Structure 1
Amino acid sequence: MTQDEPPIPLTVLMRTFNEADRIEAAIRSALPLRAEILVIDSGSTDATVAIARSLGARVVTNPWGGFGPQRRFGEALCTHDHVFSMDADEVLTPELVWEIRGIFLFGPPPALMKLRKAMALPHHDRPPPFAFCTEQIYIYDRRVARTTENPNWDHLDIRTAEKPRRLEAVAWHFTYRDWNHAVAKANYVAELAARTSEPRSRLELGLRVFVEFPFYFLRFYFLRRLFLAGADGFAMATILAFGRFLRIAKMREQAASRAVDPAAQAAADEAR
């Protein structure tokens, strides 16, 4: 792909904070799209902003207000109505770039497009063979789909009955820098989920605390095919299952606190 290729009416929207070690690979993989690249940075103290600008991205700084508000802020600044929400730890494969460009160059693009992502394990330069892919709407027309103001999660408020188009090619998701990052992120996500989930009964949580880890380990290891990644796949399945267990343990802890402290219950309701 060269600069002679026509641009497409698409804005690649990235939210960043201290991604200097990963953002160059992400932006370089997106450059062949010939789309606008807009980075919303929440105050990085490393070279994230300088790297992004050196590669031609437009960078706007905005204080972090949560996942939803930050992406919604960026949506309003996009030059084009079609938005591609891409993380700074992702790499677009050439096949995916070719597929997206083809959609925009040959006919009006659909309002919603589902993108598949395959996770690369720490210290690996690509996902394992036959990797399981998550699937979600990441390319959308902001005139009919906008991110909600939920600070904890990315949710689209979709105002069209049009069915999303599923892209065949995949993106590579380098979710974790190393095993320490994987463990820290599992703890962070578990804490976030525990603080924002609807209250559950202590009986339900007490039962789930025994089965959550083995159930999710088997799910990640076999159904999500991490067994194909050898020892590292086993380690990743263990960490992911531990994160699910930790979520239930933290929810149970909060349920116990609310039972003895009405103020804690009020604070939990306010957080949601």
Structure 2
Amino acid sequence: MFKVPVSCFIISKNEGDRIGRTIRSVRPWVDEVVVIDSESSDDTVSVALAEGCRVITQSWLGFGSQKRFGEDQCRNNWVFNLDADEVVTPQLAREIIAMFANGDPVFVAYGMPIQMVYPGATTPRPMARDHWYVRLYDRRYVRFRNSKIHDTVVTDEHPIGWFQAPVFHYSMRSFADMKRKLDERTWLLVENSGLNSKLELASRLLIELPMNFFKYYVVRRHCTGGLKGLRYAWIQARYRFLKIYRLWRSGKVRSGPSSIAA
């Protein structure tokens, strides 16, 4: 198979049960796979090494900062970021291979749909509409934001290309695991928040739960996911509400306007 001049880098911690599947979805067609491991206590490192990856241990720097560290470890300027619970579909792999086979890419960064898969399922729900993220890019021009809580590629004024085929995101081992992760992320956002408007927080306490339930259940089409979709939308909406409530209780308030962390 034609190998593209791309380094795939993956950050990990205790992902031994699923990182192998992630690696195998890219290993045959990328130039290298680099795993940045945050001192896992399971077999993540041995699994990655057995799959032919280069593994580098780095204590946790924060979401964006860890990925910036990963960018620096790659030998190619074109890099492809995956999380350890994501899998590149064969259709997306073919799109990427074809783009490089036809010469230099037109854009310096490319986004793609990231479609979530419910616990126990193998594919996303019908008509899934979750997220579009930039994951394939030339690090000489764009990079991840250097942030403890946000992990997005900053593209500034650069135009972006888009692939049509998705990455499958197996983000939850179970719904209990989903609640644990959202709880940890919510507290992290509260801890790293600046001062927030007391009036804005009060108004958002009234609308946050129904607004986000509508967003996830209808706009992002979890209504097509049956009972699991209903449960997913409710959990997401509840923790969005809890974020605002915890900000309110934290005492990080002021009388003027503010911008609340997403």
- In the aligned structure 2, how far is the partner of 1:170 from the partner of 1:158? 20
Q: TM-score, normalised by structure 2?
A: 0.92
1:254 CA drift (Å): 1.4
Q: TM-score, normalised by structure 1?
A: 0.89
The match for 2:21 among 9, 21, 25 is 25
Matched, 1:143 2:140: yes
Give the aligned partner of residue 268 of structure 1: none
The match for 1:39 among 35, 47, 50 is 35
Give the aligned partner of residue 210 of structure 1: 206
Q: Which moved more, 1:194-203 or 1:177-186?
A: 194-203
Matched, 1:163 2:163: no
The match for 1:124 among 96, 121, 125 is 121
Contact between 2:3 and 2:28, CA under 8 Å: does it hold in 1? no
Give the aligned partner of residue 260 of structure 2: none
- Match of 1:162, SS state, is coil
The match for 1:190 among 181, 186, 189 is 186
Greater fraction of residues in helix: 1
Matched, 1:92 2:79: no
Give the aligned partner of residue 73 of structure 1: 69
Contact between 1:119 and 1:133, CA under 8 Å: does it hold in 2? yes
Count of residue pairs brought into register by the alignment: 253
Contact between 1:32 and 1:97, CA under 8 Å: does it hold in 2? no
- In the aligned structure 2, how far is the partner of 1:230 from the partner of 1:258? 39
For structure 1, the 5+ residue unaligned runs are 260-272
Q: Which has the larger radius of gyration?
A: 1
Q: Which amino acid aligns with 1:143?
A: R
For structure 2, the 5+ residue unaligned runs are 255-262
1:67 CA drift (Å): 1.4
- In the aligned structure 2, how far is the partner of 1:175 from the partner of 1:189? 14
- For residues 38-72 of structure 1, give each alpha carbon's deviation from its aligned partner in whole angstroms, at most 9, with x where no partner exists: 10001111110111111111111111111122111
1:6 CA drift (Å): 2.7
The match for 1:106 among 82, 94, 102 is 102
- For residues 160-217 of structure 1, give each alpha carbon's deviation from its aligned partner in whole angstroms, at most 9, with x where no partner exists: x431100010010011110111111121222122233342222221221121111110
- Match of 1:59, SS state, is strand
Contact between 1:17 and 1:41, CA under 8 Å: does it hold in 2? yes
Contact between 2:2 and 2:29, CA under 8 Å: does it hold in 1? no
Q: Which amino acid aligns with 1:210?
A: L
- In the aligned structure 2, how far is the partner of 1:226 from the partner of 1:158? 29
Q: Which moved more, 1:197-206 or 1:161-170?
A: 197-206
Contact between 1:27 and 1:55, CA under 8 Å: does it hold in 2? yes
Contact between 1:216 and 1:244, CA under 8 Å: does it hold in 2? yes
TM-align CA RMSD? 1.5
Give the aligned partner of residue 226 of structure 1: 222
- For residues 206-256 of structure 1, give each alpha carbon's deviation from its aligned partner in whole angstroms, at most 9, with x where no partner exists: 22112111111011111111010100000000000011101100110113x
Give the aligned partner of residue 258 of structure 2: none
Matched, 1:63 2:59: yes
Give the aligned partner of residue 257 of structure 2: none
Q: Which amino acid aligns with 1:114?
A: G
Give the aligned partner of residue 243 of structure 1: 239
